[in-house]
Structure formats: structure tokens, C-alpha cells
Structure 1
């Protein structure tokens, strides 16, 4: 939730300032050095594309005199409002659509033809939040933080896109944050009321929406009987299914709650499978935006305490000046980076990476596919690397509260929502739909059984490897059931079932083949009519029984950099977005050398129909028939893409990093 493009001491002045949609200069109005008197080495110069201004060395050394007014209780001047009379080029900053701080990296962020277009008008007197893109409908859902029950959808199937109202069944009162995961929209609900038409009482919490049926379901509405202060923004960790959400005090300050806060502000982790809610961090007064890095190693949370820092909280003291938010210029307005640890259950090592004075306070927060951090603040978006170094600033003509990527141009289109407007941003920076829940299918006999994957902290080179005559499964992570160091050359160490590889391009090095942990030596195996050869060093013994192979190694060293390819074609099954997919992965014509990396990308995906998945299992024989691959060994064939949902899922897989060929 963000609280002004022109933040003020009271909401009345905030809204008065924010209500004015500032006229934008066109790209052709950008001043060039030839048309005005400028220094020989200007700070700001038009560059790269129309509407883009590049700053010399982050404008770290401005010529004297310069001045940017501090917030005075009525307004927060923008970065472009800085006065630099000695350098006439500076006025380009206030009129630019894009301000470039790091030209070398901005080229990839902006792409060839970046643009910002004001598309739709909304009420400038209210904050607009929680945009969620639903790919199966090609629609964006977003909310208005007011007592009005209807929320908004943008139909991207129309040209131009159209805006309409929707009301969930039952209604959702003041959803604030939104996240799309496994065909479901997750809303963090900020509002609290006991007399909602069609609903009755609602308290802050987590509510889901099925966009296909418009049905809503409450997952969480209390913390051991107490009411949450607010539920501002949320994410779903695709690796664990945990829902992380922030809980500041803004719904009370904005008079969107009928009960004062009963708990401390904080960031929480909610497990929808068990109902358990755990406090993850309680160090921030106003935790706001929250985002997870694509590799699931880091979490980012913004603290916008500068907006609301001095506001009183008491059952006896109403929100200041009616519905309003105090602003403290010295208060926290920063983005913090954490490490995600303990199998995705905890965040540690909090450190600030960005102090927001370019905008107002950091609000909506997301991480791009390449790891860059993007936040909505003031009249636009700020783009920085994972360490907080600014790269690009996007400027528009209204207060931007939040934003979302859509799948247009392979997730290179962003929609911004806020106080007074909805804008579309086209650029080169790709968004990410984080990988679906890390579920996989492990082969037991002829049946593929769904199970959850976890990544081990360490892995012994000793293992039993299960090899099957028809396929080898590749998944998101390792499965480690047990291991120990060897005593003799022929000791068989505990059983390890492994998903041998990776199918996401940004994590190949982390999840290469299990064989990277083994030094193989003249291993030859015949299963049925198929010969499989392996050639490496240090194999103790092998034994085969039916479709499984026991490998006995005698090396105590974990050779993480060792790789080995299979001779035969690999047929991994991937469980993604509630569906079972089979990927045709090219193998090698001969065993690899010790230094050859085992890194494969899916070049073909084919969906297994729901009717075969049944109760979480499907036989490989049935899968082969449905996928028109004939009998064993499996052979590639055309997928069946007969409905829009499958096509949409193909888009999701591509956006996640898969190389998908639907035909």
C-alpha cells in the first residue's frame, strides 16, 4: 500500500495534490544540447530512445548551486524538481519517461523501443492496489482501497483494453495485495468491517479467488483469536506453498478498519495446508511490499514507516485528522534484503539495499527474471540490482501504488495502477512467474507417483541410483532419502532417489545430474532390450534387478563439478501448474568425458490429460499412448493442444524458463 505521489500530513492535502494528473511532456519536447545553453559536459542528456535521459555517473556531482526542497508537510518534491540552474540539461529529467543511471545495464532493461502510456483513468482520491494478471483470461484484477465493494478488471483481449467492475462471491472487502499461483488468485485483505452487504463480518487475512467461477474462499482471518493489524501485500513461495504477507497499520490510519490494531506490525508466514501462522520478522513498523527472488534464495520487503510513523494507535484516539496518514521525512522508507533459510521457513540477515528518496515510500515490490528489484514509488517505478544500485527510473503522471507483468511479448509488459490512473509500460525487462509448486512424479514399477521435492544440505557420493527402461525423471530439485560414507568398496549406502537435472535456465548449475556426485568407471547396463553405457572412474560394483540399478562407488569425495551424460534419450516428467508434462530431452551419442557438463533444456513439452492423472498417478504405458509416442522406448509426437488452458500453461512454462515447443 503506498500513500502518496504528493504525500502530506493529512489525507485531505494528500488527495488534493494527488488528484491533479500532471501533464506529461512528449518525447519530442526533450531539450537537446544544441538548442539551449548547457555545460560542455551536461549532467543529463537525451539517449538511447525517445523519452530517455541518461545521467552522468548517477548525477553524483551536481554543479553548484543546486537545491531540492525537503518535504514541507504538503508535498514531496520529485527528483526532477531538483533545481540545477548551472546546467540547463537538467530540465530533461523532469520531462523524461525514463531516467537512466547505469547506461550499460539500462539497455537490456529498456529494450529497443521503451514506452509509457496512460491508458485508463480511475479515482484519484483513492489508492489502487494488488494488480494480478490471470493468463487464462488475459485479464488484470486490481482493487480500490475504499468502502466500495466492487473491484476492477482490465480486459486485455479488447483493443483498447476495457475497464469493468467485478464483485467476488462472497464479496472481498478491500483486498490490498494480490498474487496468482496455480490458477488461483490470492488476496491479502486489509479491510475490517462487521456490516458488509452479502458478507456480514470480515477481518484482515488471506482470501482466494477462483477467476473461473468468481468464488472466494477465506483461508486466514485471525492470529490466535486476535485481529491482524492489516494484511497489506503477499506472495506465494512456489517451492513450499507457504504464503508470506506483511501486516502494517495502514487500514486503521485510513479508517478502513472498524477495530484498532490488536497485534504488532510484522511479516508472517502462513501454511495453507496446516493453517499454521508464524511471525517471520517484527522489526519493521510498516512492512509493505514483499517479493521473492527467482532462485528462492532471497526475500525483499519494503518498510514505508515514513508514511505513518507518527500516527497514534489507540482505541481512544481516532485516525489523525479524519482518515489520514502522517508523514515523517526522517522515517524509514527503505527496501530490505533477507536470506531465505531453514527449508524456506525463515528469513535472516536483514540488510538495507535501497533508501527511497527518488519517490516517496517504496510500495509495490517485485523481482524481475534476471534478479533486478523493481518498486513502485511516487510517480513511477525504480529499478535496481539486487544490491540496490539504481539502474532506471520510470516516470508517469500519477502516484503509482503497485504494478504487475503480463505475458505480452514474453513478459515484457508492465501495468501500473495508482491514484488517478492505469498506465502500460513496454520495455525489455522480463518479469517472472515463479516455478509452480515443487511437486514431481517418481517412478515405482510402472506407476508414476506424485511426491514433494526437497533439496538436501549435502549429498554423499555413495548412492543407489534407480534407472528405468523407459524414462529418467528430471525435476526442480534433488530427493535425498538417506546417505552415509562408505566403509569398503562394496558397501551399499542408503537409498537415494534423485531427480537428475534441471529444467529452468536460471538454476542449471545448482541442480545438475546426480551423476555429478559419482566418479563412474566402465559402467554398462542392459535393461530389457536397451543398452545404457556410462564411462567415468571409480565404480566399485553394480547390480540390477528388474528396472532398478544399484551402483556401488568407492570415492569419499563429492565431485560437484563432475558431469556425465546418458547415451539414451531422456524422457523426464514435470508436474507444473497442476498438470503432468513430459519433456523430450536430447541425450548424447556416446558417454561424455569427465569435464562435460550435464545440462539439458527441455526442447519439447507435451501435456498429459487430466483424466490420466486421476488420483495423483498415471502409468507410463498410458502416457505413451496418449502422447502418441508408441511403445517403449518413448518417441516424440505432437501434443494435443485443444483448449485455451493448455496454451496458457505453455505460456506459463515459457515464462518460467522452459523452452517449450507446442507443435
Structure 2
């Protein structure tokens, strides 16, 4: 299998025009290296507009490492420091039973109040079955309980505490986002990160099968919010699996797709790619007008 470029020369436009690109990026877009972080920094960034701070999760290594990171954007340049909630939350990215055995901390859905620093567990099981993972982390069976559930997408009712299965058709559900009206939910499938056709491609330690699904799907949401239906694929990433997913105020869909971020219109047409020379899994808007987009490199997960 020869080398495949996701940015090869072409004489044919892909639908987007320079006018489309300019309207998204503005007249003078800039790209800057900001801070060096450890290889344990992962996804699920959360921007707190009330504090103008960006929270970043850290995963192991080292095993059992609890402090997370917070970036204070009120200073110039930004200040990066450690942050520890009460009680501490291990690997707040969706979690994994990788290094903490089941008796100490289970994969769970939690809330964290940034004003009081208190964390609360909302749910950690589905009718007594422990979640394998929440989000997209790898499950390590030797250090946790065996997988008890298939890969499905859930809806959690914050009022009643009830959990609903809304879809079980996606091989590896990953990123998830709603449109502004809440009438459409987008879910990414990263099933291509399994069963390699050619092991030389993809992440070191991760396999990539170009014939498997690396797709963004759209579902309509029922009026009462309990069901997702009318599934349709709207975009297949070219170079790697779509991971983190966000929807902008204007309806544009953004997906971390390996070496960059793809920006799509609501129908799934690719408008532009913010290319990077490192792996982007997730990202966050910051600032009073949400015009700054933060991305970071996942050291040790470089795409070849």
C-alpha cells in the first residue's frame, strides 16, 4: 500500500470557494504556538466564560495522577497551573478503568462546580452494568472489570436520573454535538481505529483500517428529546477518524480529524481544513466573542 496524502494537488475544487474560507477565517487569521504541555493532556476542554479560564484534562501516565490543568486567559501570556477538585476526579475525559481498580473509582458521569470546586457523581452504571468507557478512551481489561455493554449512545435525563439507549448502530461512537436548535444530533464513528489492513498507518500503538467507518452521522431528535431517528451519514473524514465534534452558532460543524480540524456546512460539505503537523482530537473556543480556537498536540500519537 503506497503512501496516501490527504492534501494532494488537484485542479478541481471541492465545493468550497475562497469567499467561503475568508468568511470563516476572517481577513487576518493567525496561528501561534502557545504552551508546551505534557503528553498526558487529552481532550474534553471546557472554557469557563465567567472566569475566562480553559480547563484541560490530564490522563495517566503516571498511573494514579490526579491533578488537572487550568489555563488563566486573563493574563498575558496565559498562565498554566494545576487544578484538583474535591473529591478528585481521575482522568476526566470520559474516563477509563486503565489504572484505578473498580473498587476505587468507576467510570462515571460527573459534574464539577468551578466556583465551589466540588465534584459530584451523577451515574456510574446502566441497570447495574458498569460502563466500559464514556467517550472514546481505550478500555484495558486486565486492570478493570470485563466489558459488560456494547458500544451505544445514551441519553441521560438530569431531572429523573434515567438513562436511555438512543442508538446502537454506530461501531465506535465518539464525538457528539447538537445543532443550535437541538433538533439534530451529530455523532462520529471511529470504527476505523481497529482491525488494520495496513499496520504502518495510523497512531503508534493504534491501528487504522481505511476500509472501516470514519464518518459523521446526523440524527433527527424527537420533540420530547428521548429518541434519535432518521440516521444518515453526512461526512467521511479523509485522513483519519473524526473525534471531537462541535457545532458553531452559524450551524457549521467542526471535527478533529487527525492532523487538523475539518469545518463542514450543516449538510456535511467540507468548507475548509485547519491543517496542523500534530494530532488534534478536540478543541475549544475562548474569549468574550469566542473567536480564539485552542488546539493542542497529543504527544506520542503522531500520525504517520
TM-score bucket of the superposed structures, by smaller chain:
0.7 to 0.9
In the alignment, is residue 79 of structure 1 matched against residue 6 of structure 2? yes
Shift in CA distance, 131/191, structure 1 to aligned 2, threshold 3 Å: farther
In the alignment, is residue 123 of structure 1 matched against residue 57 of structure 2? no
Give 3-state SS (helix, strand or coil) of 2:131's partner.
coil
How far apart in 2 are the matches of 1:108 and 1:205? 40
1:216 to 101, 104, 119: 119
1:277 to 137, 153, 163: 163
2:173 to 287, 293, 310: 287
2:138 to 251, 255, 261: 251
How far apart in 1 are the matches of 2:143 and 2:164? 23
Give 3-state SS (helix, strand or coil) of 1:269's partner.
strand
In the alignment, is residue 151 of structure 1 matched against residue 55 of structure 2? no
Q: Which residue matches 1:343?
A: 224
Q: Which residue matches 1:53?
A: none
Q: 2:98–2:139: 8 Å Cα contact kept in structure 1?
A: no
Show the 5 A alignment for 1:53-68.
Answer: none
Q: Which residue matches 1:162?
A: 79
Shift in CA distance, 194/399, structure 1 to aligned 2, threshold 3 Å: closer
Deviation at 1:136, TM superposition (A): 1.6
2:186 to 272, 275, 300: 300
Give 3-state SS (helix, strand or coil) of 1:263's partner.
coil
Q: Which has the higher contact order (CA 8 A, sep 6+)?
A: 2
Structure 1 portions without partners, runs of 5+: 1-66, 71-77, 90-98, 177-187, 233-247, 311-322, 422-663
Q: Which residue matches 1:25?
A: none
Q: 1:102–1:390: 8 Å Cα contact kept in structure 2?
A: no
Give 3-state SS (helix, strand or coil) of 2:229's partner.
strand
How far apart in 2 are the matches of 1:309 and 1:127? 26
Q: 1:377–1:400: 8 Å Cα contact kept in structure 2?
A: yes
Shift in CA distance, 256/341, structure 1 to aligned 2, threshold 3 Å: farther
What does the per-residue CA deviation read over 1:209-254, in whole Å, with 9 as the maximum and x for residues that have no partner? Answer: 111121110001111111111101xxxxxxxxxxxxxxx5x4315x
Show the 5 A alignment for 1:413-492.
Answer: 413-420=292-299
Q: Which residue matches 1:206?
A: 109
Q: 2:41–2:56: 8 Å Cα contact kept in structure 1?
A: no
Q: 2:96–2:139: 8 Å Cα contact kept in structure 1?
A: no
What does the per-residue CA deviation read over 1:506-541, in whole Å, with 9 as the maximum and x for residues that have no partner? Answer: xxxxxxxxxxxxxxxxxxxxxxxxxxxxxxxxxxxx
2:3 to 55, 64, 69: 69
How far apart in 2 are the matches of 1:371 and 1:161? 30
Q: Which residue matches 2:262?
A: 382
Q: 1:252–1:259: 8 Å Cα contact kept in structure 2?
A: no
Deviation at 1:142, TM superposition (A): 1.4
In the alignment, is residue 412 of structure 1 matched against residue 263 of structure 2? no
Shift in CA distance, 144/119, structure 1 to aligned 2, threshold 3 Å: same
Q: Which residue matches 2:28?
A: 113
Q: 1:193–1:201: 8 Å Cα contact kept in structure 2?
A: no
Show the 5 A alignment for 1:264-663.
Answer: 264-309=150-195, 324-357=205-238, 359-408=239-288, 410-420=289-299
Deviation at 1:107, TM superposition (A): 1.9
What does the per-residue CA deviation read over 1:82-119, in whole Å, with 9 as the maximum and x for residues that have no partner? Answer: 3x5xx8x9xxxxxxxxx994323222101111112121
How far apart in 1 are the matches of 2:265 and 2:2? 26
How far apart in 2 are the matches of 1:256 and 1:114? 47
Q: Which has the larger radius of gyration?
A: 1
Give 3-state SS (helix, strand or coil) of 1:345's partner.
coil
Q: Which residue matches 1:103?
A: 18
Q: 1:103–1:391: 8 Å Cα contact kept in structure 2?
A: no
Shift in CA distance, 174/406, structure 1 to aligned 2, threshold 3 Å: same
How far apart in 2 are the matches of 1:414 and 1:256? 38
Shift in CA distance, 343/68, structure 1 to aligned 2, threshold 3 Å: farther
What does the per-residue CA deviation read over 1:582-633, in whole Å, with 9 as the maximum and x for residues that have no partner? Answer: xxxxxxxxxxxxxxxxxxxxxxxxxxxxxxxxxxxxxxxxxxxxxxxxxxxx
Give 3-state SS (helix, strand or coil) of 2:130's partner.
coil
Shift in CA distance, 324/69, structure 1 to aligned 2, threshold 3 Å: closer
Task: Identify, as 1 or 2, the structure richer in helix.
Answer: 1
Give 3-state SS (helix, strand or coil) of 2:119's partner.
strand
Shift in CA distance, 389/211, structure 1 to aligned 2, threshold 3 Å: same
How far apart in 1 are the matches of 2:15 and 2:294? 20
Give 3-state SS (helix, strand or coil) of 1:128's partner.
coil
Give 3-state SS (helix, strand or coil) of 2:110's partner.
strand
Deviation at 1:190, TM superposition (A): 3.5
Deviation at 1:356, TM superposition (A): 0.6
Give 3-state SS (helix, strand or coil) of 2:19's partner.
helix
Structure 2 portions without partners, runs of 5+: 197-203
Q: Which residue matches 2:200?
A: none
